[in-house]
Structure 1
Amino acid sequence: MSRVLGAILLGVLAVVALVLFLNFRGEGRIDDAPPLTPPSGDTVARGAYLVRAGNCMTCHTDRGGAEFAGGRPIQTPFGTVYASNITPHKATGIGEWSASHFWRALHNGRAKDGRLLYPAFPYPNYTLVTRADADAMYHYLRSIPPVERPNMPHQLRWPYSTQTALAVWRALYFSPAQHEENTGQSAEWNRGAYLVRGLGHCNACHSSRNVLGASSDMMDLSGGLIPMQNWYAPSLASPAEAGVADWDLADIERLLRSGVAARGTVLGPMAEVVLQSTQHLSASDLRATAVFLKALPQSAAGAPTPPVPMTTQLAERGAKLYEQHCAQCHGPKGEGIAGAYPALAGNRAVTMPVTANLVQVVLNGGFAPSTAGNPRPFGMPPYATFLSDADVAAVLSHIRGSWGNRASAVSELAVSRQRGGS
């Protein structure tokens, strides 16, 4: 018995040793002292631009709070993670951090004291950010006003609240990496790949996740339901969802810059990304991002879904609700109004197999971002208090099966789940 227990203990120690080894890969030497001399104005300006490109302020600013002072709750299936204070306050922010500490946080997912960070902070993507860019971001954040706001303790269920569980997760799913140039592609494509895969962390939303919250491929952009938000980030590699392989580059750039284009409008979480981040990208970075997205290999589109038979009563109900609430803006035949209200006929956002976004828009409204290129966007009011779950299911089923659309019906249960936040 003692030999068996000894063998088990040795096995546990070996696993712990392996986990510790995997979690300290690529650490390197840490310079503890913050810089003594101020950086150049160009460095700070470049850092400000990169922080915008990484959309850092959105998560690190609580609603109604000071910029970058943290406190914003990020809901996850495992509990709530609170964004940290990244102002240069010495006691509650990163005022005592060195550039190496900041780099390690991005590249290795570790705080100044060596504590493992939760991947709600997207270091699995930020690990691709170059040291030079990380240093510029650091210098910009040290230039903003310090705010005294202690970090909120995370509220995670056990065992997800433990550093041991996080170390195991990292050993399974995270490896520090760096951006590698693809010599077979253009400089624009490589710049776009760096922005999309790394700083822009697009796959943090546009990929599916397993039961432990990890993506099977950190570079995957095949779409996924955003945990706890009930919005679906469509596949960027599917012509049936949000692939742009057949778009003109100018239209892709226009969508990222203004939130609206001839063939699409951003809503939901993506509207916030455009508002806070992509509209501020330089013309060259917008073009590079568009070049990369347009070049993504596209998965083959599946066969059209056959129309789902509906009873005469249900069909009449959906058509009547559409006429009462939708036709004035979207047209009696779903043709829409150019430059204002999108067409529903032939709209792939309408016919996607995943109906989460449609239900969200009907219940809670749909609003494009107010951008420099589209300062007064048209929006759709919420109908959660006007339409029952059965009403929403009926009108969406009507829209998905009319005017040449050949998509499956929406069930009342699907609407109920969205309304209930499950």
Structure 2
Amino acid sequence: MKRKSLFALSAVVVVAAAALVPVLWSGGDNLHNGTAMAATPADQAALIKKGEYLARAGDCIACHTVRGGKQFAGGLPMATPFGTMFTPNITPDDEYGIGKWTQDDFYRAMHTGRSKDGSLLYPGFPFTSYTKVTRADSDAIYAYLRSVTPVNVPSRPHELKFPFNQRNMLIGWRTLFFREGEYKADPTKSVEWNRGAYLIEGLGHCGMCHTSINAMGGPVSSAAFAGGLIPLQNWYAPSLTSNKEAGLGDWETKDIADLLKTGVSNRGAVFGPMAEVVHNSLQYMSDEDINAMATYLKTIPQKSEAPEPLQLETSEKFGGELLKQGQKIYADNCAKCHAENGLGMPSSFPPLANNQSIQMPSAVNPIRMVLNGGYPPSTEANPHPYGMPPFAQALSNTEVAAVVTYIRMSWGNHGTAVSPQQVSDLRSAPLD
């Protein structure tokens, strides 16, 4: 058995995540430029409502709320290749939260990646994207966070390896990978397109997952949106720039919008980290903003391919044996939902035939779906989604490799065979 390199992309249909985005700030008063804000109760209520919507768009709750814990009280562990980070308390608690931060302090964290005391924030907090957020939107998010219930819980210190626990090292990182500045509209594009670009590149921080990172934890800018491995999560965020992989150029705008808003569409469904993004964030966004995001995503140009990680490759003979074995396993376990011809029953059961995500060079996500199963998110528009059961207990590593090989190579699909060793590696990997 030999290894060959693959592009860092994929998903069982489309997968992304707001996975490594711990916000690293602490405290604020209702001040602007050092002076008290003069606002009527109605004005303040409207500002808070706007801020709540924008906080949803940024998916703040995903990182700052532990499952079963107090909202925005932080404490969520975020595993990274450099150690574990813990998200902070961003409630308006004076002792441990953002109770003593001004609007200026908050905007500086969003825009420049610097804390209230001027110290540098770790790039796990996506200030490289949030720098594009306007001052008005930052102030609205601040107003909303100041309105939530204070929680008197301290933030847990990060557990980063040396030398990554030395914040002064961030000066070099910022020089290489950070460009400060609010989003500037492209005058050659429509208002809708620019709104979508602002949301995708700014609050949505989609590039955090859909762009590969290098050994220094910095984005590979030449391959922006070309797909990336989500560190330590064992999922790939697919390329959005290539129709040969998971690009959206040949999707209808409505299908993109449906996927973002509900988690399912006629082209497929979201699972894994992206399901959480839809559940926590995207389903709450207005139809106008969802359509704007879809409009922008559809026009992302072809770009350089992502760096190529390694993946096990089977021999041609063994691949043929797996394909034959996989046909029977598919008929016994999968055809009832996905149909003998692989066309499925959209949007309840996604098609596997001519499904780009099934055929992409990386087979990680299809393998994970067979092993672990999963559900699209439950959303208002799709409150009772159909899911896929796990087969980890029912199928051996070879059997999983066989059925994934079959779906990647049947009905005109152009994928390659899957190694049982790769299944074994993913079977023993953490689920989160």
Q: What TM bracket, shorter-length normalisation?
A: 0.7 to 0.9
Q: Scaled by the length of structure 2, what TM-score is found?
A: 0.85
Secondary structure at 2:210 match in 1: coil
1:285 aligns with 2:289: yes
Report matched runs for 1:10-409 at 5 Å. 40-217=44-221, 220-298=224-302, 308-310=316-318, 313-409=321-417
Contact 2:83–2:159 under 8 Å retained in 1: yes
d(CA) in 2 for partners of 1:414, 1:33: 60
Closer/same/farther in 2, CA of residues 231 and 311 from structure 1, 3 Å limit: closer
The C-alpha deviation readout for 1:41-73, integer Å capped at 9, x for no partner, is 111111111000111110111111111110111
The C-alpha deviation readout for 1:183-228, integer Å capped at 9, x for no partner, is 1111111111100001100000101110011102299211111111
Contact 2:234–2:364 under 8 Å retained in 1: yes
Secondary structure at 1:40 match in 2: helix
Range with greater deviation from structure 2 (50-59 or 38-47):
38-47
Contact 1:109–1:117 under 8 Å retained in 2: yes
Secondary structure at 1:153 match in 2: coil
d(CA) in 1 for partners of 2:332, 2:390: 15
The C-alpha deviation readout for 1:301-323, integer Å capped at 9, x for no partner, is 9xxxxx95546643332222222
Q: What amino acid does structure 2 have at the position aligned with 1:66?
A: K
How far apart are residue 119 of structure 1 and its match? 1.1
How far apart are residue 300 of structure 1 and its match? 9.7
Q: Alignment RMSD, CA only? A: 2.1
Contact 1:33–1:97 under 8 Å retained in 2: no
The C-alpha deviation readout for 1:117-153, integer Å capped at 9, x for no partner, is 1111111100100111000000000001001110011
Closer/same/farther in 2, CA of residues 264 and 34 from structure 1, 3 Å limit: farther
d(CA) in 1 for partners of 2:372, 2:249: 31
d(CA) in 2 for partners of 1:389, 1:48: 46
The C-alpha deviation readout for 1:259-299, integer Å capped at 9, x for no partner, is 11111211111111111111111121111111111111135
Closer/same/farther in 2, CA of residues 249 and 315 from structure 1, 3 Å limit: closer
Range with greater deviation from structure 2 (61-70 or 237-246):
237-246
**Percentage of matched positions with identical amino acids:** 48
How far apart are residue 341 of structure 1 and its match? 1.2
The C-alpha deviation readout for 1:218-244, integer Å capped at 9, x for no partner, is 992111111111111111111123322
Closer/same/farther in 2, CA of residues 212 and 299 from structure 1, 3 Å limit: closer
Q: Which has the larger radius of gyration?
A: 1
Contact 2:91–2:97 under 8 Å retained in 1: yes
Contact 1:34–1:97 under 8 Å retained in 2: no
Range with greater deviation from structure 2 (36-45 or 188-197):
36-45
Secondary structure at 1:392 match in 2: helix
Contact 1:32–1:97 under 8 Å retained in 2: no
d(CA) in 2 for partners of 1:279, 1:309: 46
Closer/same/farther in 2, CA of residues 232 and 267 from structure 1, 3 Å limit: same
Contact 1:224–1:235 under 8 Å retained in 2: yes
How far apart are residue 168 of structure 1 and its match? 2.2
Contact 1:239–1:299 under 8 Å retained in 2: no
d(CA) in 2 for partners of 1:163, 1:34: 33
d(CA) in 2 for partners of 1:204, 1:379: 27
Aligned residue pairs total 388
Q: What amino acid does structure 2 have at the position aligned with 1:376?
A: H
d(CA) in 2 for partners of 1:84, 1:104: 17
Q: What amino acid does structure 1 have at the position aligned with 2:385?
A: P
Structure 1 residues without counterparts, runs of 5 or longer: 1-29, 302-306
Closer/same/farther in 2, CA of residues 70 and 413 from structure 1, 3 Å limit: same
The C-alpha deviation readout for 1:339-368, integer Å capped at 9, x for no partner, is 321121111111011111111111111210
How far apart are residue 114 of structure 1 and its match? 1.9
